Structure 1
Amino acid sequence: MHVPDGFINAPVSAATGVVAAGAIAVSLRGARREQGGTSRSSEAESGGERTAPLAGLVAAFIFAVQMLNFPVAAGTSGHLLGGALAAILVGPFTGVLCVSVVLLMQGILFADGGLTALGVNITDMAIVTTVVGYAVFRGLVKLLPRRRRSVTVASFVAALLSVPAAAVAFTLIYAVGGTTDVSIGKVATAMIGVHVLIGIGEAAITGLTVGAVIAVRPDLVHGARGLEQKLKLRVNGELVDAPASRPAPVAARASRRTLWVTGLVTSLVLAGFVSFYANANPDGLMKVAQDQGIDKKTQKHASASSPLAGYGVKDITDGRVSKGAAGLIGVGVTVVAGSTVFWAVRRRRTTDASPVGTGV
């Protein structure tokens, strides 16, 4: 659902840019809290310390999986948006930053998603999917039994609904700032219809990924914190909470490192090898754009001359090698960029949390 240059006029593109910039600023502060920066809860702080290093990996994983377009209808494909997945794994504010990093790397390096439309894409793919997905997720986990399986079920439904929500958001943006005169009703019907189908794929990927992480390290899943029922002990005839069990620090670090390495290797394999077999049909947005005529004023991408434009490495003639190399580079660049952002957030958190000297 990467919106190219020319779909949305300049004033609305600028307005969504302001919205995106404001959301990123708010998310930077929120991510500090999610990583333990301003939380008054020691449990939340320790959870943030454990999940913060995973944020860059989540961004890289979303980048990799977005290269894997899957068929959803005749002549149409879909791909992961990732907002719900990121929010559930590392928190909604951190999730907005994760998807924003991915969109920035895709726009600058791979000419995927217009640069003048970057605000539109961040608003639609990073903000809307994250907010809607996480809101649905939190509502469901309050209703479902407090079990790990409930987190997976809630993840599936949240991801499913986040995709058509993004389709609705794009339709509204296009209704205000579209550059062609087409029937908004037809655009809305086509966008929502195809993105409901894409949402099923998004839900499957999100549910499987969240379920896999919960099976190994449930304490690293932001959305699963506090859902485990506390063990009760009877003391002097009264039921009291049993002391919380905590994994040994060395074992916990080793387990976290193993998860990180496994996630990175999986991302590299998906982007570097599996991506070659992705469905080549246009995704939901581009198919609707072609069918409804909203792509008539599409502009050439500012990064069209990038050596990685189109997810291929310039001057490599073998298509398989070219796409694989581009995918590997993309995962590497995204994990570095994402990790740098969240390292800066954590460093700012640590600085703010440090006691101020008295100067005596």
Structure 2
Amino acid sequence: MQPPSPLPPRAVVDGLRASDLVEISDDPAALEGGGRWAVVLDFEGRLTAARFARWEPLGEGAPDASPPWPPVPLGAWSSSLSADGFRAGVADVRERIAAGDVYQVNLCRTLAAMLDEATTLHGLHDRLAARHAAPHAAHVFLPDQGVDVACASPELFLRRDGDRVVSRPIKGTAATADGFLAKDRAENVMIVDLVRNDLGRVCVPGSVRATEICVPERHPGLVHLVSTVDGRLRPDAGWPALLDATFPPGSVVGAPKLAALDVIAELEPTARGPYCGAIGWIDGDRGTASLAVGIRTFWREGRTLRFGTGGGITWDSDPDGEWRETELKAARLLAVAAVSDPRG
């Protein structure tokens, strides 16, 4: 459990700040009702949806006062999988691919560092906003529910506008645009097919299409390959059906999805929590929503600060290269957590 906090519940998502908490629900059906909700959906399926009465653009109204952020030294982090353990996991996945059990598995590790009992992630969110701008930045703070998540995700899981749904899976990461391997493009196309199949379970037949494939997209410190898949939601498919069909996001699981989930459960020693889940907002009145994949995400469990990093493993994966990719994805974010001045 989180320690009691004098700070009120809030959410900051997609440039909007939410306050005046009305209700909390763990039922996806509640999202069909009225109001706008901040959403945190753990990789393991635990939903925390918070309906707030007040939503306003950042910059309007009185700014929130963030408590000081105590920097977390780079050497303070421990990993759920050592370098050797992660490389062994990559080798294990490759053996399963050779046996025909899976085509791809997203293998992850979680990092952990200790915080003071009263520390919240308000200040870390400020540092991420100043030093690591992200298209799906968010901070959701619900102290009574033990939720404190600061996200700098570059990846769209689901955007909804009425009956139109869009997903933009990321697969393929390199330090520069000319650093992608054939493996990166192959795994992106594989996940695009998985996302098409997921959306096809709840969309009008023939409406699901991939409109962009393997587009390089620059983000702080690295480049991703991004594709876009969209479709028209069936009239009888609401949020319970949509989440059941598409969650967890295919890009952070693998293919086939159910088989990859079994491998993840076997090889990863800790739960992912909000990492690789979904974070964002849903407006039940307007039928609109934006949910990010919970990557580049910090979260707090009591006094423990956690952060996840990983990558897609295919037959062409090199264990050393995959370990280096997890370090590349984490390096800039951990450096942000290590500074005390948000402008640093």
TM-score by length of 2: 0.26
Q: Which has the larger radius of gyration?
A: 1
* Structure (1 or 2) with the greater strand fraction: 2
TM-score by length of 1: 0.26
* Structure (1 or 2) with the greater helix fraction: 1
